[in-house]
Structure 1
Amino acid sequence: MTITLASTLAGLALVDSPSFGTLLVPIWLMLTPGRLHPGRIAGYLVTVAAFYFCVGVVLVLGADTALDAARRVLADIPSIPLRVGQLVLGILVIALSYRLEARARRQGDTPGRMRRWRARAMSGSGSFGGLMSLALVAAALEVATMLPYLAAVGLIADADLAPHLTGAALAGYCVVMTVPAIVLAIARIAAHDKAEPLLCRINDWVTRNSARALGWTVGGIGIGMVLNAIVSLLVDRS
Structure 2
Amino acid sequence: MTTTPPPSMSPMNPITEDDIAEFLANTPDFFERHAQLLATVQLNSPHSHRAVSLQERQAEMLRDKIKGLEGRIMDMIRNGTENMILIDKLHRLACELFETPLDERPFVATDKIAMQFAVPQVALKLWGLEARYAAQPYAKNISDDVKTYADALTAPYVGANTGLAAVQWLAQPAQAASVAVVALRRAKGQPAFGLLLLASPDSQRFHSHIGTDFLMRLADLSSAALLRLQPLTI
Give the TM bin, normalised by the shorter chain: under 0.3
User: Looking at both structures, which has the greater relative contact order when contacts are Cα pairs under 8 Å and sequence separation is at least 6?
Assistant: 1
Flag the structure with higher helix content: 1
Structure (1 or 2) with the greater strand fraction: 2
Tell me the TM-score normalised to structure 2 length.
0.24
